[in-house]
Structure formats: structure tokens, C-alpha cells
Amino acid sequence: MGLSQHFDGKVETLQDAVRCCGSFLSLRDGTVYFVHQSARDFLLNKEEDTFANLFPGGVEGLHWAVCLRSLDAISKVMRRNIYELEDVGIAHKDIIMPKPNPLASVAYSCAFWMKHLGESSTDRDIKDYEFVNEFLRTNFLYWLEALALIGELLQAVQGIQKLQNMIRGKPASKDGSITDLVHDANRFLLYHKEMIAEFPLQIYESALLFSPEESIVRKHFFEDHAPQWISIMPGLDMTWNTRLQSLTGHESDVYTVVYSPDGEWILSGSADGTAKLWQAESGHHEYTYGGFGEEPYNQFDGRAEELRKAGVRSVAFSGDSQTFTAASGNGVIKVWDLKTNQVESFRGHEEELVVTTMAISPDGRTFAYALENKGVHIWSMDKKISTRTIMADIDNRVSLSFTTDGRWLASSSENVNIKIWDTLTGDCKREIDNGQLVGGVEISGDGQLIASWSFAVYIWETKTGRLVRKLENRGYSWFRSINFSKDRRLLAVLTDREIFIYNTATGDLTWET
């Protein structure tokens, strides 16, 4: 965040601060420099321990002090509707910053006090965070309004989650107040952040009104800030439901979603021709990747075939979460390096054929795709060529699934038995007779179990082809997808309306929506 944008263009304050450190720092063309290499060496001299002598509390102590002073400064300024806007429904893009700006002096503190808190010692007792508890109970909504006004609401989302991690595992206070409050504040933010960012003053209207009755934030602020025009309260859930947040932004159907192995990122692919990268915890949209070209589109009304944006059918992260692969329906494959943002593009096939199904190995180095009535192709990212074709005689309803190491590929088709392939040789190592039409297939990461679905879900032992478990459809919705947990002890089953999680060893239902 550039500081000058929050000081009404008055950079003199910043210049004065640098001049006070004239023995060490200088300001040239808007950039702060050490006056000489010797000044830098002096401050960073480990043998003399200069820094410790100047700052006995250490870096962590400095961050703690900045956090305390920031909250003190913010508390003196915060109030509802600090810009005195007349329309509570005004959009952020239409807000004109008042002059003088009442947030000018505390903009940095509002945005970054939690970062300073996070850089302070994590060994503190839970009671040391009581000042944070008091601030949130008094100023939480005002603080969120201020951050929304200056376009820094993401700092609150990330900061609250950082605070949640800092106090997790610490012995709770007798009333558990800060632990419970921070947990509820996180749910409140994740649920309402998009609306607050776009319409800042709706935090006192819609956000409070449509939060669960038992929400700590709602109960604490509702009496003083509830909209006066509401006479009949809407029916609300008592507590937050299991949905943490919704990620919105794609303009068409979402084909595929994956987590990065380190849990930091979510990657989605859509029929709108883009892959989107999201921060997993905050839900913040980081980047949109496109440029996959076009693919043929068959009309259902008898009109001629047309072209449309090639949908991103499959995405995968590398094992170190540093690169990801996205593949589209026309055979275009793109590999991004998240550190450098460099991209490599390849073409899986030259023919203008529709890719009906695609799967990428978890390491992102091998992928398989089914061409419309033209078989399943295995493609090597290392060799950058299609290495072999399997299942030459297929229909258009094909399902593909890799093991974690990419060595084995499970395939199914409506009119063909389940097959397990060695991706190195292209040999079929096992064929399982499902006995009826197959809707899809999933192989466990270690390759020990394979699951298929049609009118029920079947779990098979890969090595022998023995049926281990049959899970009946518990509702009246179509099965859409199945997925093993990393240790294959659980199987998630997605239908049109519900999600079921089963114990693969016993067949017991452990959770459902």
C-alpha cells in the first residue's frame, strides 16, 4: 500500500520522519536510502549487537509497540459512517473521499496493525490479547467500514485468520471471550466480505441483519446498529452453517476445482475459458489465467457447429505447489510458475476435435484426455508429446483418474468395463466388470482401491478386482462425482443436492449435508 495515497497527497509528514533519521537515511525521488553503506553495516552489525542496544525489546517488541499505538490511534478516530455519507446503499466506486480525510492519519494503522501483531511474539499468554478483545468488541464494525472505504478489507480477512492461528491451542480465558469472538469474526467476514467491500455501509444493515442469531458479532452490535426500518425480522439460522465462503467470479459453469498440496491456494477451471487462482483461507481472487483459444461447439437446435472459448477442463498443482497446469477442451495445455509468473503453452493434439474428459496427474507432469470418438491419449509434459493412445473404441462419456504418483490411470466408459492402465507402457493391467453402465471412476492415491458409480457407488480392490463395498443411493439425486481422502479411509460422494462422506472400510455414513 502506498502511504501517500492515504495522506491527502501530503508527503511532507513522511519526509519529516525520514529527516529525523538523517544520520542513517536519506530521501531521493520518493525512495528512502541508507546515507552510506557504513550506516547499514552499523545497524546490522551482529558482533556489536547494535540493533539490540538501540532496541532492547528486539524486533518483536517493536512490532508489539506499533500494534498497541496503532489501536490507540484508531480507537480515537473510529465511528459509524465516518465519511458522513447520506446513502447507506452507496457503492464503493461512487464514494468521493472527503477533504480533509478523517482516515488519513490512521490509514496505515487500520490496514496493518494486525500484521504488526502477527510479527510480535507468539509466546504470549492469552490474557495479553485482552486489548485486542476490547478493540474488536468496541470497534470491529467501524474498523471494517474504514478498511472497506480505503480498499483494504482483505487485510482484515487475513489478519483475523492470523490472529485465530496465534491464539489457537492457548489455554482459553475463563469466559473464552477472545477465542470465541475471533472465530465468529472470521465467519462474519468470510460470509459478508464481498458485500462489505462493494457497499461499505451495508455492514450495519444487511451484514448484521442476515447473520445467525447466535453470532457474537450480531448479538454485540445489533441493538445499537440494527436498521430502524425493519419491523419483522427474517427467519435466520441460529448458528453459522458448514459453508465457510463462496468463491464467485467465473462467468460460466465451473468444471474443476483443486487445492494446492500446501493448502495455500485453490485453483478453478471454467467453461468461460479461464482458470482462476484464489487464496484458500481468505477466498481472495489472486489472478485469472486465459488465452486457451476456441473449441467447436455442437448446437442442440440443428444449427451449424460454432466456435466458443475453450473451457478449462482440468487443473492440477505440482507436488511443491509452485507450479500448476491447466488444460482446455481444445487440447491447449498451459503450465504456470507461481514464483516467476512465467507460462509455457503446449498443444496436446493438432486436430480440431473436442476434448470430452481430461485428467492431470497430481505432480502435473502427465495428463490423459479423451477425444470425441477418437480414444484416450496419454501425454507427457517432460517429453512434450503424446506418448500413446489407449481405449481406441470409446463413447463420449469417459471418466479418467490418476494415482498420486501418476503411474496408474483408471478409466471408464458407459459401455466399457473399468480399466486400469500402466501409463509408462500403455498396458491394461486390470479390467473390472461393473455389470452395468458406468457414470464415472476414481482411483485412490495409492492405487489400492477404485470406486465407480452408476445407480450406486461401488468400491473395488484394485489388485484383485474384488467388490469390497456397495453404497446405495440415499436420495433421489444423480451422482456427479466421487473422491477418496488422501489415506483412502473416506470417500466423498457428490450428488445434485447432497454431499455424503463414507467410511470405505465399513461403508458407514460419517457425514452428510
Average pLDDT of the residues in 155-174: 83
Flag whether pLDDT at 87 surpasses 90: yes
**Mean pLDDT calculated for residue range 20-41:** 78
Bigger pLDDT: 57 or 447?
447
Q: How far apart are CA 479 and CA 412, in angstroms?
A: 15
Lowest pLDDT segment from 190-194, 225-229, 273-277:
225-229
pLDDT at residue 448, rounded to an integer: 93
What pLDDT was estimated at residue 386?
A: 58
Lowest mean pLDDT among 18-32, 300-314, 331-345, 432-446: 300-314
Using only C-alpha atoms, what is the Rg of the chain? 28
- The segment(s) of the chain belonging to CATH 2.130.10.10 are 250-396, 397-513
What is 397-513's CATH superfamily?
YVTN repeat-like/Quinoprotein amine dehydrogenase (2.130.10.10)
Is residue 303's pLDDT more than 90? no
- pLDDT of residue 470 exceeding 50: yes
Selected residue with higher pLDDT from 387 and 150: 150
CATH architecture of 250-396: 7 Propeller (2.130)
More confident of the two residues 339 and 497: 339
pLDDT for 3 equals 40
- The SS3 call for residue 110 is helix
Q: Which range, 118-122, 254-258, 424-428, 458-462, is most confident?
A: 458-462
pLDDT at 498: 80
pLDDT computed for residue 6 by the predictor: 44
pLDDT at 266 over 80: yes
Tell me the per-residue pLDDT of 491-500, one tens digit each, with 9 for 90 and over. 998 887 788 8
CB atoms within 10 A of CB 216: 21
| Average pLDDT, integer, range 489-513 | 85
DSSP codes of every residue in 369-425:
EEETTTEEEEEETTTTEEEEEE--S--S-EEEEE-TTSSEEEEEETTEEEEEEETTT
Helices 130-149/58-77 angle, 10° precision = 60
Q: 3-class SS at 435?
A: coil
pLDDT for position 185? 95
Q: What is the pLDDT of residue 461?
A: 93
Cell of 470: 456397495
HEC string for 267-296: EEEECCCCEEEEECCCCCEEEEECCCCEEE
Does the pLDDT of residue 195 top 90, yes or no?
Answer: yes
At 506, the amino acid letter reads T
pLDDT of residue 2: 38
Whether 449 and 461 have beta carbons less than 8 Å apart is answered as yes
List pLDDT tens digits, range 224-237. 877 776 665 665 78
Percent of the chain with pLDDT over 70: 85
Q: How many CB atoms lie within 10 A of CB 106?
A: 22
Per-residue pLDDT at 65 exceeds 50: yes
Calculate the average pLDDT of the chain: 83
CA 255 to CA 269: how far, in whole Å? 6
**Inter-CA distances, 379 with 192, 277, 348, 373, 386, Å:** 43, 24, 7, 18, 4
pLDDT at 479: 77
**pTM, entire model:** 0.71
What's residue 396's pLDDT? 61
H helices of 47-176, in order, are 50-54, 58-77, 107-119, 130-149, 153-167
Of the listed ranges 77-91, 288-302, 334-348, the one predicted with least confidence? 288-302
pLDDT of the residue at 181: 93
